[in-house]
């Protein structure tokens, strides 16, 4: 986007979309005329002897040099843990410290008021 804005300001275009369209038309015209290869060779010769990794140093690279593939299929979620069998007697009797639900609390208060 910085390059599009630079082209937009240099040629006084109204939008970045216009700058991108102008750039593509210019490159296409150079390609049709056969001047693109000459222009690329000229730019490479003017660049001098800069290291090949000069552009890559700005990017933050992951340890080990591994790059993430943005189109890779995501990994599968971990399988659920197997359930342990619960004692049937423990299921029927509520624990003393377990809070009662609203309906159970209402029944317990009804039974206490009747007694």
Residue 115 has pLDDT above 70, yes or no: no
CB atoms within 10 A of CB 23: 16
Q: Do the domain assignments include residue 67?
A: no
Q: Do the domain assignments include residue 86?
A: no
Q: Do the domain assignments include residue 23?
A: yes
Sign of CA dihedral 93, 98, 101, 105: positive
Q: Residue 97 has what DSSP assignment?
A: T
R_g over Cα of the chain: 35
pLDDT of residue 72: 86
Q: pTM for this one? A: 0.39
Dihedral pair phi/psi, residue 110, rounded to 5° = -65, -45
Domain interval for residue 21: 2-48
Q: Do the domain assignments include residue 12?
A: yes
pLDDT single digits (tens) 5-43: 999 999 999 999 999 999 999 999 999 999 989 888 888
How many structural domains is the chain composed of?
1
pLDDT single digits (tens) 54-109: 555 555 555 666 788 888 888 888 888 888 766 655 555 555 555 556 666 666 66
């Amino acid at each position: 986007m910085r390059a599009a804005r630079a082209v937009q300001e240099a040629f006084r275009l109204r939008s970045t979309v216009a700058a991108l369209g102008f750039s593509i038309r210019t490159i296409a015209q150079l390609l049709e005329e056969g001047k693109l290869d000459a222009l690329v060779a000229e730019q490479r010769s003017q660049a001098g002897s800069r290291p090949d990794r000069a552009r890559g140093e700005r990017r933050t690279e992951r340890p080990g040099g591994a790059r993430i593939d943005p189109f890779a299929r995501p990994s599968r979620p971990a399988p659920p843990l197997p359930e342990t069998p619960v004692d049937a007697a423990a299921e029927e009797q509520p624990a003393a410290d377990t809070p009662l639900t609203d309906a159970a609390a209402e029944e317990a208060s009804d039974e206490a008021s009747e007694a």
